[in-house]
Amino acid sequence: MPADLSHISIILVEPIYEGNVGAVARIMNNFCFSDLRIVGSVPQKNDFYLAMHSEHLLDNATIFSTLAEAIADLDRVVAFSRRIGKTKPVDLSPMQMAAYVHELPNLKLGLIFGRETFGLTDEEADLCPLRCHFSANKDFPSINLAQAVALAAYEVQSFEQRHQEDLGTRKPDAVSGEELERIYGYMKDVLGNIGYFTNYETTNWDAFLKKMLAQLNPNKEMVYRLRQMFNRIHVLITGKGMGYD
């Protein structure tokens, strides 16, 4: 039986080439995805032609003005990028991405694909704690948008089919994105209050904390223990506790 992937959104950021969005819709239909989100413009005539027997996905696609709006209701997001480097680390291989998605069947997830021309802006990339990268020819690493979606969709759908009965690897009790953002803010505020940050920091602690929590996928007990730990640190340094409201 096909896996239920209705909780996973495919998000395209400002696609510009006619046909790519239509091809993505057909690919989504091939691999049992149903939620298409587009940041930017609605598809063109040629997209509907290439979305053979998948036009309903284009008709039902949700259009957003910004990536922030497109992911506002999602619990976890993974961005796909061909760019790698010291400030653009790779967090997940395609297979690891599929395993990560498989762990979270009860959360709303987003797989984000940037523009065909230059991908995501730095501001957009900052909204995505985790990055996935396809290994390709180092002299020609850029993969067509629709083909990139096809590779990602196949990895997720095939992983789901292979492991449908392997429930031991899942984390159905992982906290929502809202709760994850709340404990992130608490930890950051505690560190700020105790003077942990300095003017000559070379580490992007915002990105580190968000990535750590996204990779950890904590449940409610783990979030409570993190809150307890950081509150105790705050007491030891400042002499008073810090509320969690």
CATH number of the domain bearing residue 145:
3.40.1280.10
Domain boundary among 142, 169, 196: 169
Q: How many CB atoms are closer than 10 A to CB 63?
A: 14
Per-position b or e across 12-39, b if 16+ CB within 10 A of its CB: bbbbebebbbbbbbbbbbebbbbbbbbb
Q: Are residues 192 and 213 in the same domain?
A: yes
Counted domains in the chain = 2
Residue 167 banded pLDDT, cuts 50, 70, 90: low
Residue 82 banded pLDDT, cuts 50, 70, 90: confident
Report which of 214, 131, 212 is spatially closest to residue 174, judged by C-alpha positions: 214
- Average pLDDT, integer, range 147-169: 81
* Residue 206 structural domain: 177-238
Domain boundary among 122, 137, 169: 169
Residue 131 banded pLDDT, cuts 50, 70, 90: very high
